[in-house]
Amino acid sequence: MADTAWWRSYVVDNPEYDGDQNKRKHKCAILGCKYQYNALATRAAGHILGNDKNVRACAFATEEDKILASEKTHRRKSIVSGTSSSASQSIDTTMQEEERCEEPPKSQEQTRTHLNELWTKAFAKCGLAPNVIDDPDFREAILETNKARHQYQPLGRRTMAAYELPKLKAAVKSQLDDLFTGDKAETLVLDGWDNSAKDSLINFLLASLAGEEFLDDEEVTGEEKTAELMANLVVKYVNDGSQGIGA
């Protein structure tokens, strides 16, 4: 069959496989221990190996896994060739236990639980307010990082302070025109704390190190603080915020 040619050439015609059916099945099971291969290769495996359930249930490996499995096989052959039969069985048992000890991929639920714990721990350790999670800019940063095609390493604090925060300072300055002369100015002056605190820019200040630094450890409540204080906080952040954060 045309769709089994590749699999047959690798499994059957490869000199590494000595013709023993059980050994072929075992080696294929090793190669297929981690990743879900596509339906074509799975059907080919089942056809050649008599629909063996171990091969059908497991996934086919990536190129790196195939190399690793090949190295394990050669290692077993080289060790066993110079040992007694009892020692050979002991070595085989040890290597099989090592293969079984490889951590299986986490399920979606396990991954979500693990990441929830990491994010909660990070927020608690850094003193971040939980409402940061609802901020659209924060969510956008997470989603864009998650979708990135290349691995992303977060910035160090010195790099952020020297290069990125000055850019943010300029961006905040450009927003101040609208904040004090546009629609937001009316919100700050007339509606007071409750509505102005919903503004994403002000929430950013409160939830970041800037908020803690510029409020001088004063408790921020609806009764004690007003929208005027929030406006002053924004101005102070623009004036000297980038020097204080991350320094």
* Greater pLDDT, 23 or 247: 23
Q: Is 91 exposed, middle or buried (0-12, 13-18, 19+ CB in 10 A)?
A: middle
Are residue 82 and residue 197 in the same domain, yes or no? no
Q: Is 19 exposed, middle or buried (0-12, 13-18, 19+ CB in 10 A)?
A: exposed
Provide the pLDDT confidence category of residue 104 given band limits of 50, 70 and 90.
low
Last residue of a domain, one of 43, 73, 100: 100
Answer whether 69's CB lies under 8 Å from 30's CB. yes
Are residue 95 and residue 122 in the same domain, yes or no? no
In the chain, the number of structural domains is 2
**Range 98-118 average pLDDT:** 75
Provide the pLDDT confidence category of residue 239 given band limits of 50, 70 and 90.
low
Are residue 125 and residue 219 in the same domain, yes or no? yes
Are residue 86 and residue 165 in the same domain, yes or no? no
**Would you say residue 206 has pLDDT above 50?**
yes
What is the pTM for the complete model shown?
0.31
**Range 146-170 average pLDDT:** 80
Percent of the chain past pLDDT 90, that is, above it, reads: 0
Are residue 49 and residue 145 in the same domain, yes or no? no
Are residue 96 and residue 114 in the same domain, yes or no? no
Last residue of a domain, one of 77, 100, 123: 100
Are residue 54 and residue 174 in the same domain, yes or no? no
* Greater pLDDT, 165 or 49: 165
**Range 71-90 average pLDDT:** 57
Query: Torsions phi, psi of 31, nearest 5?
Result: -65, -30
Are residue 17 and residue 95 in the same domain, yes or no? yes
Q: Please report whether residue 105 resides in a domain.
A: no
Q: For residue 204, which of 142, 133, 115, 119 has the smallest C-alpha distance?
A: 133
For the chain, report the end-to-end CA distance as a whole number of angstroms: 67
Query: Between the ranges 100-104, 164-168, 194-198, where is the mean pLDDT highest?
Result: 164-168
Are residue 90 and residue 35 in the same domain, yes or no? yes
Are residue 51 and residue 139 in the same domain, yes or no? no
**Range 8-25 average pLDDT:** 50
Q: Please report whether residue 76 resides in a domain.
A: yes
Answer whether 25's CB lies under 8 Å from 17's CB. no
Query: Torsions phi, psi of 33, nearest 5?
Result: -90, -10
Are residue 92 and residue 121 in the same domain, yes or no? no
**Would you say residue 4 has pLDDT above 50?**
no
**Would you say residue 46 has pLDDT above 50?**
no
Last residue of a domain, one of 79, 100, 121: 100
Which residue carries 């721990």 as its tokens? 121
Q: How many residues does this entry show for the chain?
A: 247
**Would you say residue 147 has pLDDT above 70?**
yes
Domain limits for position 190: 110-244
Tokens of 155: 């910035």
Tokens of 160: 């952020």
Which residue carries 């510029």 as its tokens? 214
What does the pLDDT read at residue 111?
86
Type of residue at 1:
M
Lowest mean pLDDT among 35-44, 82-91, 103-112, 211-220: 35-44
What is the overall mean pLDDT for the chain?
61
- Euclidean distance between CA atoms 28 and 22, whole angstroms: 10
Tokens of 172: 């905040």
Are residue 116 and residue 230 in the same domain, yes or no? yes
- Euclidean distance between CA atoms 111 and 109, whole angstroms: 5
What does the pLDDT read at residue 136?
81
- Give the CA angle between residues 54, 56, 59 to the nearest 5°: 90
